[in-house]
Chains A and B, each alone.
Chain A
Amino acid sequence: KQEVTQIPAALSVPEGENLVLNCSFTDSAIYNLQWFRQDPGKGLTSLLLIQSSQREQTSGRLNASLDKSSGRSTLYIAASQPGDSATYLCAVGGTSYGKLTFGQGTILTVHP
């Protein structure tokens, strides 16, 4: 059974700092990995999707890497802003039909 762990559980940083969120998974036989953002009481916004054959994806100030063999992914956020404050969820897709297993999330607070 796939287990996904995210570290740290919470992170508070000053505005402008670069930061890294970590995600690890126990079964390396994954199909893809997705990073999401969730604002309080809201649904999920997809940030980046990495296919199992890829090593990284970039979108603006976000960069996600994937190391399947070690069961790890990182989400790098450059020049953080208060608007980045949210819960960030990592989800691993284990099959081609799209079933996702989620981590517990990292609560990010960026203070001015």
Chain B
Amino acid sequence: GAVVSQHPSRVICKSGTSVKIECRSLDFQATTMFWYRQFPKQSLMLMATSNEGSKATYEQGVEKDKFLINHASLTLSTLTVTSAHPEDSSFYICSARLVDYNEQFFGPGTRLTVL
């Protein structure tokens, strides 16, 4: 149980395009999902907290107009990187919080490469 999926697993796009990444909790409902990014050989940095039915809370320094987050249902959150640039290339990981156990379960990540 407590499986989180992400789609796509890998995406390559041209500079200026927008990319949408989906995060799904497969066997549980997640009122809260989190989005992280990880640069090579670095740890995870929280970008934003996504709550179902409400606006996401962004960490300091993260542009909310650049990284659009939608959490329309209890099992799906999406991250859209708008007008992507090479510096947005990174590994994006989502997690979903299992409320009863106050534990986060992580997706397999999405490797974004912007040319």
Instruction: List the interface of chain A (C-beta within 8 A of B).
Output: 31-32, 34, 36, 41-46, 49, 51, 89, 91, 93, 96-105
Q: Are B43 and A98 in contact (CB under 8 A)?
A: no
Q: Are A98 and B34 in contact (CB under 8 A)?
A: yes
Q: Are A103 and B103 in contact (CB under 8 A)?
A: no
Query: For this complex, into which size category does the number of interface residues on chain B fall?
Result: 20 to 34
- Which of B32, B43, B45, B103 gathers most chain A CB within 10 Å? B43
Q: What are 13 A-B interface contacts by the 8 Å CB criterion?
A: A32-B102, A34-B103, A43-B107, A44-B106, A46-B103, A51-B102, A89-B44, A96-B102, A98-B103, A99-B46, A100-B46, A103-B43, A104-B43
Q: Are B44 and A93 in contact (CB under 8 A)?
A: no
Q: Are B43 and A89 in contact (CB under 8 A)?
A: yes
Q: Are B106 and A104 in contact (CB under 8 A)?
A: no
Instruction: List the interface of chain B (C-beta within 8 A of A).
Output: 6, 32, 34, 42-46, 49, 91, 93, 95, 97, 101-109, 111
Q: Are A98 and B32 in contact (CB under 8 A)?
A: yes
Q: Complex formed: what's the CA distance from A28 to B74 in Å?
A: 32
Give 9 closest A-B pairs by Cβ, nearest first. A44-B106, A43-B108, A43-B109, A102-B43, A98-B97, A102-B44, A104-B43, A43-B106, A49-B103
